[in-house]
Amino acid sequence: MDARGGTLTLVEVLELDPVALGQPRLLSGVADENRSVRWAHVIGQDRPGHMLEGRELILSTLPRLAEDRPDLEDALEQYLADLDAVGAAALAVEVLPDRPRLLEALEAAARSRDAQPAAAELTPLLHFSRVVRFQQITEALHWELVARELEADGAERDGTPIWDPMVSAATNLIDDLAAPGGLPAQDMEDRVAALGMPRSARYVPLVVLLKGEPKETTSYRVAQLALGARQAAAHIRRPALVAAGQEAEICVMLAVDEPAGAFAEAGRRAVDTFCAALRTDADRRRTYGLVPRYLVGVAEQFVTLAEAPGALADAAGIARAALRVSARRPRREQNPAESATRQWWAAADLGLSGLLVHIAGQPEAEWFARRHLPVFAGEDGEQLREIVRASVRTGGNKAELARELGLSRPTLYTRISRIERLTGRPFQGESLLLLYTALLLEELTAPGDAAAP
């Protein structure tokens, strides 16, 4: 969060509902409660300084400071020194009674720090006396910061993005995974845990693609959609990494606890619930011109975090193809009911059009279409088109084809015979596929309208 915008004081953070529910107790009694907080960060590492920039509220269970660790007091001292060095806003820990040695070390450290001459400049220590949800705390704090940022500088609505720090951190993580060599397994686990994600989770990759003219897909609107995606994941209580993708894209990795295997009901249910929550949030905030139209592409698979870059690339390809296919789909094939209920696209939804849309309009594709489309140039051209389309849908079953088209068998056979005379080939197999492909290319190069999600 830019320091020029709105901020929160530590006192105000303690008043946020998810924080207050944990009944936080200030261990460092002389610390300055009016120091500013610019975001929250969940950290499990024992030397967190290199991950921080200052003025962060650090949330942790201090998982590496185990009760049987012989150097526990020294490790805690180094941890706090790291936070002091970068000017962290505060350290808020959830340490339960089953860790009495660590609780005693925290109390002792707080007393020692309060006795120092510069005590008010040191990182305040807070202890949650009740179990809390760190994700809910970060959500509440980040939303409050964004709201204040908008109030503090309304001019930023005209295009300057306001990125949620958690989105920035997730973006850096995905970028590092995509770099040559990727990340060592331990570093990857530590960083994803610092973002509040399960260490051993599997993920469903999604890409949310903005639609519309350049004025509708500004970086500011992308940032707003990223906020909506994080809010949607929090609403359904599903851990998710939300990162910036290519231009006008948001990448989402939905954590699932399913074992490796086929993307089945569990995966679709996770995507459905997320997309429904995102749609609800977008509808609410679209009133204020914050969120543009969008569509969602999903790579129907469970992946590890290390596989995220490739899986997200697949989802992005599906989203881009879906955008072009939906924009070019002829009005006679547009189903208003489907447009109103469709929440996401997968490769199976695109079919052959998902491939052809990338070459439609190219010289080679135009040549192919010119070669095969003359079959449909006569007065009965539209009737022959319907024969081809329905034949593909019915798998060439003549009885089912006649029923779908509402034709008698003699009439159907007459029209099929005409197609065979015009092509010089039997109306089956590759000949049927060639005609169908030519029709798809024709449709994909015709003007159309993309519907809102």
Q: Which residue has the higher pLDDT, 163 or 238?
A: 238
Q: Across residues 26-32, what is the average pLDDT?
A: 72
Q: Which helix (H) or strand (E) holds 243?
A: strand 240-244
Provide the token pair at 426: 């039997």
CA distances for 120 relative to 116, 125, 353, angstroms: 9, 12, 64
pLDDT, position 158: 45
In angstroms, the first-to-last Cα distance of the chain is 30
Q: Across residues 104-121, what is the average pLDDT?
A: 90
Residue in 166, 150, 167 with CA at minimum distance from that of residue 158: 150
Lowest mean pLDDT, pick from 168-182, 339-353, 372-386, 424-438? 339-353
pLDDT, position 83: 92
Q: Which residue has the higher pLDDT, 86 or 257?
A: 86
Q: Mean pLDDT score of the chain, rounded to an integer?
A: 82
pLDDT, position 93: 93
Provide the token pair at 372: 């095969």
Q: Which helix (H) or strand (E) holds 82?
A: helix 72-86
pLDDT, position 450: 39
Q: Which helix (H) or strand (E) holds 438?
A: helix 429-444
Q: Across residues 200-211, what is the average pLDDT?
A: 90
DSSP 140: H
Model confidence at 204, pLDDT cuts 50, 70, 90, reads very high
pLDDT, position 30: 59
Model confidence at 168, pLDDT cuts 50, 70, 90, reads confident
- The span from the CA of 92 to the CA of 174, in Å, is 27
Lowest mean pLDDT, pick from 229-233, 360-364, 429-433? 360-364
pLDDT, position 260: 59
Q: Across residues 91-96, what is the average pLDDT?
A: 92
Q: In this model, does residue 157 exceed pLDDT 50?
A: no
Q: In this model, does residue 75 exceed pLDDT 80?
A: yes
> Taking a C-beta distance cutoff of 8 angstroms, is the pair 294, 211 a contact?
yes
Model confidence at 296, pLDDT cuts 50, 70, 90, reads very high
Q: In this model, does residue 101 exceed pLDDT 80?
A: yes
pLDDT, position 108: 93
Model confidence at 329, pLDDT cuts 50, 70, 90, reads low
Sign of the Cα torsion 258, 263, 269, 271 reads positive
Instruction: Locate the DSSP E strands across 30-116.
Output: 36-37, 39-42, 56-60, 90-93
pLDDT, position 135: 80
Q: Across residues 1-19, what is the average pLDDT?
A: 72
At 70, is the secondary structure helix, strand, or coil? coil
- The span from the CA of 4 to the CA of 93, in Å, is 29
β-strand 8-9 against 36-37: which pairing, if any?
A: antiparallel
Residues contacting 394, CB < 8 A, separation 6+: 400, 401, 404
Percent of the chain with pLDDT over 70: 86
Q: In this model, does residue 167 exceed pLDDT 80?
A: yes
Beta bridge partners of 208: 250, 296
**pLDDT per residue as tens digits for the range 338-363:** 444 578 888 888 888 878 877 787 88
